[in-house]
Structure 1
Amino acid sequence: MVNLSFSDYEGTISGLETFSDGEAAFLLLKTSDGLEGWGEFGGKDVDITLELFHRRVAPVVHGKKINDPGALIELVIRFELNYKMMGVQLSKAIAGLDSAVWDTLGKRYQKSVCELISGKCLQPYPCYASSISRKISGEKLATKLNQLRVDHGIQAFKIKIGKRMGKDEDEWEGRTEEVVKGCRTTLGIDCLIGVDANGAYENVETAKNVASFLEEHKIWFFEEPFPWVDYDKYTALQKFLEEEKLDIFVAGGEQEFRLDIWKLMIIKNHNRPFLASQPDFGYCGGPTIAFTILKLSQQHGLTFMPHSPVSCYQFL
C-alpha cells in the first residue's frame, strides 16, 4: 500500500459506533483527543458487514493510533482470527473503518481528504452519469439521458447492456441493440457513452461480436463483460480489441478486493485483462487501497475510473 502516514498525530481510537437503516451502514469513529469522523461501509447485505466489523475489525483497532491508515488495515488483515476470513465482506467492513479514519484525519489537520492524499484540492473532475436499470426501453432511456445533458451539461453516460450474469442472454431480445442505437442517435456523436454488462457474457466469441457492434456505434468502454473472476476471458477480449484496432477498451475490477491481484493485473506489460481500473471504494477496502490502485494505474499507463454506486459518501 502507498505510504500515507501522519506520525506527529498521537490520537487513538476510543469509540466505534455503527448506524444502519438496512440499506446503508455508517461508522462514527471517536478519538482519545475528542475528534470524530464518519465512514461508510460497502453496500449490500450490510447486516453481515456490520457483524463482521464488530467481531473482526473493531476489537483489533480499538485503542490503536490512526496516524497510519495503511498500517491499520494491515493490522486487521493479519489479525489471528481473520485467518481464512479475508473476502469481500471483510473488505467492506475495513472500508467503513478506513473512510472514517480519513475523515478524522482531515478534521485533525483541517484539510479535505483530497488535500491530505494529494497535497492539493483538485479542479473539477470529469465524471459520467450512470443508468442502473435494465427495465427501461431504449427510447425512454435516451430521452432521460438527453434531458440530464440539457439540464446539467453532462457530456458522458454509462448504460446497461445484456442481462446481469446472464450467460449470453439479453434482458429481453434485442434490448442491447435498442439502447445503444437509441442513446447514440439521441445524444449525438460528440457525447461519450460507455456500457456495463455486469458479467452478462460467458462466451468470448459472443463478447467479441458485442464489442464490434459497440465500436461501430462509437461506444467509449465495455465494462465487466464477463463474471468478474474470469480474467482470462477479459484478457482474450482486450487482446482481440487491440489486434483488430477497435477504438474501445475493456474496464473492470469493481468487485476485486485483493490488492495482490490488482498488482498482478496492472503491472503486466502485455495481456492485461482491461485498460481501465475500476476499484469500488466500498468493496476494495476503502480510500487507502483505492489510492494505491490509482498510483499503480498511473505508473503503468492504465485509466483510473473509480466505482462507487452504493458507497457515495466514500466516493465524495
Structure 2
Amino acid sequence: MKITSIKSHVLKYELEKELGYSQQYYKHRTAHLVEVQTDEGITGWGECFGPGNIALANKFIVEKVIQPLIIGEDPLNKEHIWHRVYNLLRDSGQKGMPIQALSGVDIALWDILGKKTKSPLYQLIGGMCNKQVPVYGYGMMLQKKTTSELIDLFKEEASQIKSKNFKAMKMKIGLGPAEDLKLVRAVREVVGKDFRLMVDANHAYNLNDALYVGRGLDELDIFWFEEPVAPEDYDGYRELKQKINTNIAGGEAEFTKYGWNELIKNKCIDIAQPEVCGLGGITEYLKVSALAQANFIPVVNHVWGSAVSIATNLHLLTAQPDMPGGLFPSKSMLEFDTTEKNIFITELPTESFSILEQVKKNNGFASVSDNPGIGITPNLDFIKEFEVNE
C-alpha cells in the first residue's frame, strides 16, 4: 500500500454570538481535517489542532511541506513516517504548527491501519480497558459582558450542563483574579459542593496572580486549575503546584515526547492534558501517555475540535488503563464542548454519532463504536459546503 495524496480541509462557519477565553474573543468556529488517500482505495481521516488563520497555515504545511516528504510511503509504517517528517523539520519545527500539522497526518495513518485490518482504533493500541468513559461538559466561555452579567449567564449555563447528566464541568476564567473568583463562587453555588468543577485560565496569569486565584480555588474545592501560567514557565508551574492544594492541570500547549519529558521532569502538573491533534498525533500520544504513567500522573486528554477529534479521543480513553488501579479507580474523562451547537460535531459524520445523547441516556457516560479505524467518516458534501478556499 502507498500514500497517493494528502488533502487538507479547513472548515468554518459563523457563530450566533461571540465567545472567548482569556486570550481572545472569536466569532467563527473552525476545524482542520486531513484526508490521506492510498492506492488501495482506503482513505484515512485525521484532525489538526489550531483555530482560524493558524489552520490555514497548517494547511500549507500539510500539503506543501509534509505531503512531498511522504508521498509513495507505506501508510502502515507510521513510526518511520513520523520520525522522517520530524527529523527533516527539526531545525524549523520542534513545536507549534509543524507538529500540529503532523498530528493530523498521523491520526489519518492510524485510521488507515484500522480500516486495513478491519479493527477499531482502541484494539490497535491495547484493547478495551473501559466499556464506558465518563464525560465532562466544557462551557461557560467568556463574553463581552460585565462581571455581573457573566455571573448570571454562567449560573444558567452551569445548571443546563448539570441537568444533561455530565459527570463534571469546566468553566473559563481570565477577567482578573478578583473577578474570576466571583465567577467561580457563583458557579460553585449553583452546581453544589459535591459536583466536580474545573477552572481553565488559558495561561492568563503570572505566578503571583495564579497563587491568589489558586488559594481561592482551594476554598471552593475545585478539582483542577488548568493552564494557570504560561506553558513555558516550568518554575511557575512547579511553585504553584507546591503551594496550593487544587490539582494543577496542563499540557495542551506542549509538544512531542521531548517537551512532555521536560514538563513531567520539572514536576509541573498533577494532571496531564495531552492534545492528540496537536502534540504529534497518536504515535506520539502513546509515548506521552507512557511517560505520564511511569510518573503516576493521571491523564485526562484535552479535546477541542470536530467529531474526528472526539472519536479519536474516545478510542484513546477506552484503551487507557486505570492508574494506579484498584477496586474503585478514578477514571479519566472525555472533554466535550457544550457551548453553542457545534455542527462540526453533530453534522460532519456520515455515521450516527452523538455524545450528548449517550450522556443523557447513560447517566454521564459514552461508549466507543466498533467501526474500523477512528469509527467515523466525514461527509464530503458537508466538507464542500463549509470548506474555506483561501
Measure, in 2, the Cα distance between the counterparts of 1:296 and 1:259: 8
Counterparts of 1:261 and 1:213 in 2: how far apart (Å)? 30
* Correspondence for 2:174 among 151, 154, 162: 162
**C-alpha offsets along residues 36-72 of structure 1, whole Å, 9 cap, x if unaligned?**
1111122222111011112221011111112232221
Q: Output the CA distance in 2 between the equivalents of 1:250 and 1:141.
A: 23
Are 1:175 and 2:179 an aligned pair? yes
Of the three residues 120, 124, 141, the one matched with 2:132 is 124
Letter matched to residue 103 of structure 1: D
Q: 1:251-283 CA distances to partner (integer Å, 9 max, x unpaired)? A: 1111111421212332x3xx5011111111222
SS in structure 1 at match of 2:135 = coil
* SS of aligned partner of 2:249: strand
Structure 2 residue aligned with 1:54, among 55, 63, 70? 63
Indicate yes or no: 2:154 matched with 1:141. yes
How many residue pairs are counted as aligned between the two chains? 287
- Once the 2 structures are TM-superposed, how far is the Cα of residue 308 of structure 1 from its aligned partner? 2.1
AA aligned to 2:112 is T
Does the residue aligned with 2:133 lie in a helix, a strand or coil? coil
Contact 2:161 2:169 in 1 (8 A): no
Percent identity among equivalent residues?
27
**CA distance, structure 2, for counterparts of residue 185 and residue 155 of structure 1:** 17
CA gap 1:226/1:302 in 2 versus in 1, 3 angstroms: same
| TM-aligned CA distance change 1:105 to 1:121, over 3 Å | farther
Of structures 1 and 2, the one with the larger relative CO (CA 8 A, separation 6+) is 2
Which residue is 2:74 aligned to?
65
Does residue 192 of structure 2 align to residue 188 of structure 1? yes
Residues 1:258 and 1:27: Cα distance change in structure 2 (over 3 Å): closer
CA RMSD of aligned residues (A): 1.9
Q: Within 5 Å, which residues of 2 pair with 1:208-287?
A: 208-241=211-244, 246=245, 248-266=246-264, 268=265, 272-287=267-282
Find the aligned partners of 2:77 and 2:242 in 1 and give their Cα distance: 39
Change (3 A) 1:282 1:311: farther
- Normalized against structure 1, the TM-score is what? 0.85
Aligned-partner SS, 1:146: helix
1:201 equivalenced with 2:196 (yes/no): no
Alignment of structure 1 residues 98-113 onto 2, 5 Å: 98-113=106-121
Mind listing any 5+ residue stretches in structure 2 that lack a counterpart?
13-29, 144-148, 312-390
Asked if the contact 1:106–1:113 (Cα under 8 Å) also holds between the matched residues in 2, the reply is yes
3-state SS of 1:303 partner? coil
| Alpha-carbon offset, residue 123 of structure 1 | 1.5
TM norm structure 2:
0.69
1:290 to 259, 268, 285: 285
Give the Cα–Cα distance (whole angstroms) in 1 for the partners of residues 251 and 237 of structure 2. 11
| Mapped partners of 2:203, 2:127: distance in 1 | 37
1:140 CA displacement: 2.1
